[in-house]
Every structure is written in structure tokens, then in C-alpha cells.
């Protein structure tokens, strides 16, 4: 388990750049050169500038997911195969997996950028200026966090 790390602007910018490129926070924090998830959550709770940068990175990540959806939808490799009699057989499991990948990205996009990608009823997740609202729950006072 990694030790908590103090916030630095350079580290915060690196994390947010990786998020905007499409990496998950879990994958970023799993890297040896990155802080643990707990540190990042602490930074979100305590640093307004990092919260804004993180929110902007998540909005960019939502746009990246939209691009991925197009690529997944356009990809046909694996949708069909030729059986032993030379017939074209639809690979339903590959198509279902692609559908799951698209649906998961759509759900994430609707949460990351509700004004742009959310349903009309889900628009409560954005501020007046369209900025993503990030709710941070602090657990520092809980005995398990000590």
C-alpha cells in the first residue's frame, strides 16, 4: 500500500492530463510514479484549484469517450465468422460485448458531462456555467481512516 502524498501542482496536472487522455483514475493511481487514490481524494476535498482542474479533465474525458463510442460502433471485426460449411455466422457475444462497452461509456459520459451528454432529467449534476459538480465525502475523522 502506498503512503499518502502531498499535493503538488505538477503532479495534479499530470493526473488530470492522463484523465483527459482517457485513463481511469484507478489505473493512474496504480502506477508506481503516481499517488494512491486516497491522496487524490484528499486533494479533491482540500484544494479548489485541483478540483476545477480535475472537473475540466473529466469533461475532456467524456469527449474522449464519445470518440471511443464511434470507434467501437464502427468496428466490425469479430462480429461474424465463417463456419466449417463456409456460412457466415453472427457472433452474438462479440456484438453484445460491443454494446456493453458503448453503454458503459454512455453512462459515464452522462455523469461526467451531464449538460452535454446526460438525459434532460440528469442535468442536476452541473453548475450554472455547465461545470461539473464534484461531490467529495471526507472520511478523515472516521477511526478507520487513521
Structure confidence by residue, pLDDT tens digits, 104-121: 999 999 998 888 898 764
Architecture of domain 9-145: Orthogonal Bundle (1.10)
CA distance 120 to 123: 6
pLDDT tens, position by position, 31-75: 999 999 999 999 999 999 999 999 999 999 999 999 999 999 999
In this structure, the chain runs to a length of 146
The pTM of this model reads: 0.71
Cell of residue 144, nine digits: 478507520
Find cell 458531462 and name the residue: 113
C-alpha distances (whole Å) from 80 to each of 20, 58, 84, 98, 102 are 33, 35, 13, 13, 19
What whole-number percentage of the chain has pLDDT above 90?
A: 62
Distance between terminal CA atoms of the chain? 14
Q: Which residues contact 95 (CB under 8 A, 6 or more apart)?
A: 79
Amino acid at each position: 500500500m502506498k503512503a499518502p502524498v502531498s499535493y503538488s501542482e505538477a503532479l495534479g496536472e499530470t493526473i488530470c492530463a492522463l484523465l483527459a487522455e482517457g485513463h481511469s483514475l484507478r489505473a493512474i493511481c496504480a502506477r508506481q510514479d503516481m499517488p494512491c487514490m486516497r491522496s487524490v481524494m484528499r486533494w479533491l476535498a482540500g484544494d479548489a484549484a485541483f478540483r476545477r482542474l480535475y472537473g475540466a479533465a473529466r469533461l475532456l474525458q467524456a469527449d474522449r469517450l464519445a470518440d471511443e463510442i464511434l470507434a467501437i460502433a464502427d468496428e466490425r471485426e469479430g462480429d461474424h465468422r465463417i463456419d466449417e460449411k463456409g456460412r457466415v455466422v453472427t457472433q452474438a457475444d462479440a456484438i453484445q460485448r460491443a454494446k456493453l462497452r458503448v453503454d458503459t461509456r454512455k453512462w459515464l459520459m452522462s455523469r461526467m458531462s451531464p449538460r452535454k451528454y446526460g438525459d434532460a432529467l440528469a442535468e442536476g449534476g452541473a453548475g450554472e456555467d455547465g461545470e461539473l459538480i464534484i461531490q467529495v465525502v471526507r472520511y478523515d475523522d472516521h477511526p478507520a481512516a487513521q
